[in-house]
Amino acid sequence: MPTKQLLGRLQALQRCQQSAADSDLTAEEIVTREGILFKDSAEWREAHRDLKSVLADREHIPSAADRKQKRQERGRVKSERKSNPTARQTRVPKLA
């Protein structure tokens, strides 16, 4: 399954309500619904554990925020080099 779908599944699991006691649903609505509804169920814990183990094996791709932070750090280093004249390298003229 593609990573994007796995992450969508993870978000769906995270949106589940904590327990039936905390839910607005009636007992009849809970019985008629399909799928995992609550985080305190054994099915939710198993699905979450399995999903996390599959995602742990996937290659990490930095998020947009991570990439932005790295770009800004590189920019700071470059601007520090430009503003610090002692850090500049002087060129030695070539002899012909």
Please report, for the chain, the start and end positions of each structural domain, with discontinuous segments joined by +: 3-85
The encoded tokens of residue 90 equal 């002087």
Residue 88 pLDDT grade (very low, low, confident, very high; cuts 50, 70, 90): low
The encoded tokens of residue 30 equal 């809970």
At 55 the pLDDT is 92
> Is the pLDDT higher at 51 or at 83?
51
User: What is the rounded average pLDDT for all residues in the chain?
Assistant: 84
The encoded tokens of residue 61 equal 């791709």
At 71 the pLDDT is 92
For residues 49-77, average pLDDT: 89
Find out whether 54 and 62 touch, Cβ atoms under 8 Å. Answer: no
pTM higher than 0.85 for the full model? no
Reply yes or no on whether the pLDDT at 62 is more than 70. yes
Signed CA dihedral, 40, 44, 45, 51: sign only: negative
CA distances to 29, 39, 95 from 92, in Å: 81, 68, 9
For residues 59-79, average pLDDT: 87
